[in-house]
Structure 1
């Protein structure tokens, strides 16, 4: 069983009738985020749109909220989060809005209350840079993109 972290949430006026984000199953890692559009919104094939959720949050220190695509929308329709995972920082207090891109061949219509993305709460570890003159050597070394033959 996972521990729970309390996150304060404000339902904005245009999200008044929508459910709070919820887990689809007991073992789900992410909560489903809903579209708070006032009227159906069409994302044409190849285009992007910024979708409101009608929610603002206050994350506890040391956490981020990662916005990820829903696998079913990606597979069936090509609807993805282009900057996946999108990050909601602990100090952001504005409305959570989700960038969606239609990589499919057909226009896609977003309806009010549609589950458009999932959000995962994740701990943040800060980087402490240590500048040095050289790095240890590895078998891979400087070889990058595709260098392992896959």
Structure 2
């Protein structure tokens, strides 16, 4: 278990610290500090009322909550949303209602997304005239075939 500590600034009276449902969960729940209705097919930018200080060499990633997706069709656009180590503003979540018929309701204190903190490489990028060969080469979207079928 890591002894990494993330400083969290509470920016709103209803803001709460991110919270894990279980001790060893990768994701910590983010809660809404505002109420909103999201019509079918619509999206909303929902405030969590917190700002976080992610250490250099790490990033925070905002993921959808599987229960919200399965039960209400709510997901996170641009998932996972990336919070870089230098960002100190409020963490907000772009929530999208994929349900074609029902309006989704988010209340104050509702768990709307999960926050995952991960170590990230900070490479230098250099221009190259040519890249090394690989088995896959430039094969892209769909180049490995259909699941369950042998592509050899």
TM-score, structure 1 length as denominator? Answer: 0.90
Runs of 4+ in 1 over 3 A off after TM superposition: none
Residue 113 (structure 1) aligns with: 109
Structure 1 stretches of 5 or more lacking a match? none
Whether the 8 Å contact between 2:14 and 2:49 is mirrored in structure 1 is no
How many residue pairs are counted as aligned between the two chains?
A: 145
Pairing 1:30-41 to 2, within 5 Å after superposition = 30-37=27-34, 40-41=35-36
Instruction: Write the mapping of 1:15-94 to structure 2, written as runs, cut at 5 A.
Output: 16-37=13-34, 40-94=35-89
Distance 1:126 1:136 in 2: 21
In the TM superposition, what is the alpha-carbon distance from 1:18 to its structure 2 partner? 4.2
Q: How far is the alpha carbon of 1:60 from its aligned partner?
A: 1.5
Using the alignment, how far apart are the partners of 2:59 and 2:126 within structure 1?
24
Q: Structure 2: 5+ residue runs without aligned partners?
A: 147-152
* Distance in structure 2 (CA, Å) of the matches to 1:89 and 1:130: 22
Report the TM-score, using the length of structure 2 for normalisation.
0.89
* Aligned-CA RMSD value: 1.4
